[in-house]
A and B are shown apart, each in its own frame.
Chain A
Amino acid sequence: MALLEVKDLRTYFHTDDGVVKAVDGVEFSVEKGKTLGIVGESGSGKSVTNLTIMGLNPRRNTVTSGQALWKGQDLLTMKPAQLRDIRGSEISMIFQDPMTSLNPVHTIGKQLVEAILIHRDVSKRVARARALDLLKAVGIPRAETRIDDYPHQFSGGMRQRVMIAMALINDPDLLIADEPTTALDVTTQAQILSLMKRLQDDFGSAIIMVTHDLGVIAEIADDVVVMYAAEIVEHADVYDLFNRPQHPYTWGLMGSLPRLDADVERLTQIPGQPPSMLRPPSGCRFHPRCPYVMEICKTKNPELLPTQRDPGHLQACHLDEDTKDREAAKLKATMAEAT
């Protein structure tokens, strides 16, 4: 049984302007100890998907349907107290902005200890010792003294390490990382990623890595979900995704990866803007921006189906498979040429 199984997840926000379909029929599962990458542009619904699983969306004006089965139990229909017991102990979460994710008026030690004491019946001394161990594990220098410092006394990268320590402090089975490296500079990003990989080996947690950065995906993910406009457009094994991407949106994402050595004047980009989820486009939601658009795309939204070659590789596009393979090969060739 998968650790987490998300089925037909939908999250709609009722606003004054109408219903925003932030997540619209998302399905995936996470296996024990594996890493699932969720990639997509801002506003594609990747963060809301995870907040919904964690029950952290604002309750007002939010309608959720579908299932999120955690070890067989549905997180979405669970009693709040039961969900709280899982949050922070079995499933924990790291957020995008480490500068604002820690409470400025408490020392980091106090915040780490709190995470333990909420779930475990141990003494403060024991909890503090555990907190110190974790701070050392995530590579905070002079952890013995720094444990009594306040968040503002740490740099962004160090704060994200503290957040990771806090997330791992109760040995969770699943760690949801919502763009954990986006707000950090490039060298720090690399450090945080390798830290997460190392800790995954040590702690054996599964990870959901939400990002808009395919580089991060290539680095850490086993499985990849590509989201566009609240839906999954492609879902594949990480090697398959990079070797044989099957969706024009995925091609667009890969084409817009910057390369130092490529002889191009400008970065390729996907034309247009992500659609407003108040009024999503008819048919395939990507069709207004898709260079391969056909008549059928404007009226019929393609289903997420396995490719003929590989039943584990899901994609939602009307293009025939030969064309897609050809385009994928072309993309791969240009990328190989560049590297």
Chain B
Amino acid sequence: MFRYLVRRLLWAILLFIVITFVTFVIFFMAPNNPARGYCGGDNAKPQCLALATKKLGLDKPVPVQYLKFLKRLVVDRSLGQSYFTGQDVNQAIAQAAPVTASLVFGGAILWMLIGLVVGVFSALKPRSLLDRIAMVFVLIGVSAHPVWIGLIFSYFFGFKLGITPIANYANFFGAPADSGLPGGPWQWFYHMILPWCTFAILFAALYVRMIRANVMETMNEDYVRTARAKGAPENRVLTRHVLRNALLPVVTMLGMDIGLALGGAIFTETVYQLPGLGRTSILAISNNDLAVVQGVIVFSTLCIIFFNLVVDLLYAWIDPRIRLT
């Protein structure tokens, strides 16, 4: 177990170095000059450009810049300052991460609820009306783009019917007193309803299909027949023998999907103007703001590594056949 954790940690470090380095290289291969953004875009004065190039360390070779980035990260535990606004990147991510976390975890709860209920029922009654309706939902869910769904939702529920906000985020712990913005748990929930639904639809569709397939497959397992031969009632067969086995692969998927989604639910955040990681990175990319882009990537990588580890530990706990060595 201990050796397993150590090995996982070493892998994580390697993965981390590779990902950040690749980001660096890609960034500098693109034909742009971050100093220009720093000095106010196309009309930048040459003096300012020269100063900014020196200040941001852009005059140094790329490997040197990368090593400086690593050193700052490890020694000062700082991701640096934004090339564009000068804001501290740690702080920018600390502001954006809770927004994305609200979106992703709330969305995950919603899609798991839909996935489990619809998936299990359509597996129990294949080719029934419910099953067919569910499959139509799956088809729509996997085909429709979140931006489109988001626009439709906010147009109908927000604008036409007026039962939800059209966009924007409300802080769970209350907005600053002088800002005049909505805040508090209820406002937070109220503002997140549409983003959650939008975000969950794609995953719910995928999970319905996956859970349905897994449950149907598990129903044909010999040990399920054994359980019936013991005289176990159907609901017991389902809960004790089918579900636990059928949901093993779902746990893996869930961990990976949450890890991935934390890196930025870009489309949903953009449509609803949620100031999360996705929107932060979109802005940073269009501003050539390497420090912020790199910051978001570092954070997402850590999230993915962390959730994969959690999944592995969870998996070993629920499936006795797996031993972590």
B226 touching A102, Cβ below 8 Å: yes
Task: Kindly identify which residue among A85, A103, A115, A119 contacts B241, using a CB–CB cutoff of 8 Å.
Answer: A103
Complex Cα gap A106–B242 (Å): 12
- Chain A: interface size category: 20 to 34
Closest to B241 in A: A103
Q: Is the CB of A101 within 8 A of B233?
A: no
A56-B231 contact given A104-B245, A105-B320, A152-B321, CB 8 Å threshold: no
Interchain CB contact under 8 A, A86 and B231: yes
Set B223, B233, B236, B318: member contacting A103, Cβ < 8 A: B223
Contact across chains for B229 and A56 when beta carbons are under 8 A apart: yes
The answer on a CB contact under 8 Å between B230 and A118 is: yes
For the complex, give the distance between the alpha carbons of A95 and B244 in Å.
22
Chain B residue with the shortest CB-CB distance to A90: B231
Closest to B244 in A: A105
Q: Are A100 and B221 in contact (CB under 8 A)?
A: yes
The reply to whether A118 and B231 form a contact with Cβ atoms under 8 Å apart is yes
Contact of A84 among B222, B231, B245 (CB under 8 A): B231
Contact with B along A251-270 (1 / 0, CB 8 A): 00000000000000000000
Contact residues in B for A89 (Cβ distance below 8 Å): 231
- Chain B residues touching A, majority SS: helix
Query: In the bound complex, how far is the Cα of B225 from the Cα of A103, in angstroms?
Result: 10
CB of B228 within 8 A of chain A? Answer: yes
Those of B213-240 within 8 Å (CB) of chain A: 221-223, 225-233, 236, 240
List the B residue with the shortest CB-CB distance to A176.
B229
Chain A residues contacting B236 (CB-CB under 8 Å) are 118
Task: Check A56 against B225 for contact (C-beta < 8 Å).
Answer: yes
Q: Given A81, A95, A119, which contacts B226 in the complex, CB threshold below 8 Å? A: A95
Which A residues, 214 to 247, have Cβ-Cβ distances below 8 Å to chain B? none
CB-nearest residue of chain A to B223: A103
Q: Considering the chains assembled together, what is the distance between the CA atoms of A97 and B225 in angstroms?
A: 12
Shortest distance from the beta carbon of B227 to any chain A beta carbon, whole Å? 7
CB distance from A60 to the nearest CB of B (A): 8
B77-135: which have CB < 8 Å to A? Answer: none
CB-CB under 8 A from A104, the residues of chain B are 223, 245, 319-321
Contact A118 to B232, CB < 8 A, known contacts A102-B226, A103-B226: yes
Q: A29–B123 Cα gap in the complex (Å)?
A: 38
In the bound complex, CA of A121 to CA of B228 (Å)? 19
Given the known inter-chain contacts A100-B221, A100-B223, please indicate yes or no for A150 contacting B321, CB distance below 8 A.
Answer: yes
Q: Are A101 and B222 in contact (CB under 8 A)?
A: yes
Would B229 and A87 count as touching, CB distance under 8 A? yes
B227's nearest neighbour on chain A, judged by CB, is A103
Binding site for A on B (CB under 8 A): 221-223, 225-233, 236, 240-241, 244-245, 248, 318-321
